[in-house]
Amino acid sequence: MFPVLQIVCVAVFLVSFHSTLLSQLSSGQASGSPADTVSLTLADALERAKANSPQFQSAVTDVGLARENRIQARAGLLPGVKYSTGVIYTQPNGTPTGVFVSSNGVREYTSEGVGHETIGPAEIADYRRTAAALALTQANSEVAARGLTVTVVQNFYGYLAAQSRAATAQQLMDEAQSFLTKTQQLEEGGEVAHSDVVKAQIQMNDLQRGRDQSNLAAQNAKLALAVLVFPNIFQDFTLVSDLSTVPPLPAADAIQKMAETNNAELKAAFAALEVASKEVSVAWAGYLPSLSVDIFYGIDANQYATYNRDGMHNLGYQGAATLNIPVWNWGATQSKVRQAQLRRDLAKVELGAAQRIAMANLRSFYAEAETAHLHLDMLQRTADLAADSLRLTTLRYQSGEATALEVVDAQNTLAAARNNLDDGQVRYRVALANLQTLTGPF
């Protein structure tokens, strides 16, 4: 009886679970994706990418860890207070103190508050090092943020360009289909040769294949962007396109000034040198003395009481000061100093290289952005001319003044012109993003 009842309960549970899962899948809750279509601007994509990028979040985590290290190092410079209590039992030997000569009695009770402070150059140098390390992680976080911006810009506008390419391919395929129909009609009327129909059919097949490839490229570009901006592979989103809006390019002098003050990579290189210099100071502190001060307040007596059996007061205080002077450690401190100096020398070389690379990249990125900006108007005019050329060539073919080869050539020219325009717009946006890695937003 009981096995049958168990089987029935399991069956009811499975049916209930299956229906719940189906309802979640239908509402989009099982995958954790939003139920409605999401419309993304570039700023939205950047914010979402920062929340989902492991590299950027790792840099943010490093900042948090460095900040906590600084707090801990600062705490090491300040007096600390703790409370301790305990009992020590010593084997009796017939005397009040017991077997061990260090004991104050057979039973010794402690209940004390302890204040401790260590004052030394090592602690001070380490606190300064953690402050420099915090500045380094903050600079690296900014470098990571700007690098992520370039990646998002590439994928965001790459997807918009892929969509535009797919739309162009579909439009040209429709025009090729219309041209194929016209050639077939003209052939039936004896106005053109069968070779025109063959040429139109070949063009139709090529454009259909190009349309399929463009759709596939757009789908892959959408997936690449979804990986960046969503915690799951969510594809029910659209982009707010601003490709037709051309952001201005600041003058070279203004770019130079912004790069001098806002270059995150140079800030990181300078901060790395500062950290290396502070590590040298920490190593040198191993040669210097340090002072430790301890203050005890409480009881350390044979009874756990404020007064002993004779009425004497057990509660009191004690102070101890220790001066630690390093004398000999087999060259360990000297070795640490040499290690720190080697790292500092390397940081100097890396800073010099970073400065040279920054200067070269500034000129290269600005030249790239300037060239891409100059080409935009030319590419737009070329695309407009190619569209007009196709229209006129098609009309000339219908009146018998042009060949099918000219129509096909005009279609291919229009496809290339529009694709070049899409590439030029993406190129300018990416060039601006690369330039802003050196200057910050403008």
Share of the chain above pLDDT 90, in %: 78
* pLDDT above 50 (res 1): no
The structure tokens listed for 139 are 């600079």
Single-letter amino acid, residue 321: A
Nearest one of 2, 70, 39, 96 to 310, comparing CA atoms? 96
How many whole angstroms separate alpha carbon 398 and alpha carbon 410? 14
Q: Coil, strand or helix: which one is 232?
A: coil
Question: Is the residue at 27 inside a domain?
Answer: no
Residues 112 and 133 in one domain: no
User: What DSSP element (H or E) covers 9?
Assistant: helix 2-27
Residues 183 and 84 in one domain: no
pLDDT average, residue stretch 211-239: 94
How many whole angstroms separate alpha carbon 329 and alpha carbon 245? 68
Q: pLDDT for 172-184, tens place per residue?
A: 999 999 999 999 9
Instruction: Give residue 406's domain range.
Output: 39-78+127-283+332-439
How many whole angstroms separate alpha carbon 32 and alpha carbon 101? 71
Question: Is the residue at 253 inside a domain?
Answer: yes
How many whole angstroms separate alpha carbon 210 and alpha carbon 406? 20
Lowest mean pLDDT, pick from 22-31, 112-121, 252-261: 22-31
- pLDDT for res 101: 78
- pLDDT for res 28: 42
The structure tokens listed for 147 are 């690098």
Residues 259 and 407 in one domain: yes
Q: What is the CATH number of the domain that holds 303?
A: 2.20.200
The pLDDT-based confidence of 106 (bands split at 50, 70, 90) is confident
Q: How long is the chain?
A: 442
Residues 109 and 183 in one domain: no
How many whole angstroms separate alpha carbon 119 and alpha carbon 195? 96
Residues 74 and 84 in one domain: no
Question: Is the residue at 34 inside a domain?
Answer: no
* pLDDT above 90 (res 263): yes
Q: What's the half-sphere exposure (Cβ side, CA atoms, 13 Å) at 39?
A: 2
Question: Is the residue at 9 inside a domain?
Answer: no
- pLDDT for res 15: 43
- pLDDT for res 310: 83
The pLDDT-based confidence of 344 (bands split at 50, 70, 90) is very high
Q: Would you give the distance in Å from CA 240 to the centre of its chain?
A: 23
Question: Is the residue at 429 inside a domain?
Answer: yes
* pLDDT above 80 (res 36): no
- pLDDT for res 48: 96
Single-letter amino acid, residue 197: V
The pLDDT-based confidence of 191 (bands split at 50, 70, 90) is confident
Q: Would you give the distance in Å from CA 191 to the centre of its chain?
A: 64
Domain boundary, last residue among 325, 351, 385: 325
Share of the chain above pLDDT 70, in %: 92
The pLDDT-based confidence of 5 (bands split at 50, 70, 90) is very low
Produce one character per residue of 286-312: b if its CB has 16 or more CB atoms within 10 Å, e if not: beeebeeeebbebbbbbeeeeeeeeee
pLDDT average, residue stretch 381-410: 94
Contact call for residues 394 and 407 (beta carbons, < 8 A): yes
How many whole angstroms separate alpha carbon 141 and alpha carbon 437? 12
Single-letter amino acid, residue 179: F
The structure tokens listed for 403 are 């060949």
The structure tokens listed for 250 are 């600041």
The structure tokens listed for 98 are 């017991």
Domain boundary, last residue among 275, 301, 325: 325
Residues 318 and 339 in one domain: no
pLDDT average, residue stretch 245-260: 93
Question: Is the residue at 427 inside a domain?
Answer: yes
The count of domains in the chain is 2
- The three-state DSSP-derived secondary structure of 244-292 is CCCCCCCCHHHHHHHHHHHCHHHHHHHHHHHHHHHHHHHHHHHHCCEEE
Domain boundary, last residue among 275, 299, 325: 325
The pLDDT-based confidence of 405 (bands split at 50, 70, 90) is very high
* pLDDT above 50 (res 8): no
How many whole angstroms separate alpha carbon 9 and alpha carbon 75? 60
The pLDDT-based confidence of 190 (bands split at 50, 70, 90) is confident
* pLDDT above 80 (res 30): no
- pLDDT for res 17: 43
Contact call for residues 112 and 87 (beta carbons, < 8 A): no
Residues 253 and 235 in one domain: yes
Calculate the average pLDDT of the chain: 90
- pLDDT for res 26: 42
Backbone dihedral region for residue 102 (phi beyond 0: left; psi -120 to 50: alpha; all else: beta) = alpha
For the beta carbon of residue 324, count every other beta carbon within 10 angstroms.
Answer: 12
The pLDDT-based confidence of 94 (bands split at 50, 70, 90) is confident
Residues 91 and 226 in one domain: no
* pLDDT above 90 (res 279): yes
Nearest one of 341, 366, 182, 335 to 257, comparing CA atoms? 366
Residues 312 and 397 in one domain: no
Residues 399 and 435 in one domain: yes
Contact call for residues 87 and 109 (beta carbons, < 8 A): yes
- pLDDT for res 16: 54
Question: Is the residue at 396 inside a domain?
Answer: yes
Higher pLDDT, 108 or 138: 138
Question: Is the residue at 26 inside a domain?
Answer: no
- pLDDT for res 324: 93
- pLDDT for res 302: 87
- Return the DSSP state at 307: B
Q: What is the CATH number of the domain that holds 159?
A: 1.20.1600.10
- pLDDT for res 339: 97
What is the CA angle 13-15-17, rounded to 5? 65
Cα maximum dimension of the chain: 136
* pLDDT above 90 (res 54): yes
Residues 111 and 52 in one domain: no
The pLDDT-based confidence of 280 (bands split at 50, 70, 90) is very high
Chain position carrying tokens 């840099």: 59
Residues 240 and 135 in one domain: yes
* pLDDT above 80 (res 144): yes
How many whole angstroms separate alpha carbon 313 and alpha carbon 31? 72
- pLDDT for res 394: 93
For the beta carbon of residue 427, count every other beta carbon within 10 angstroms.
Answer: 21
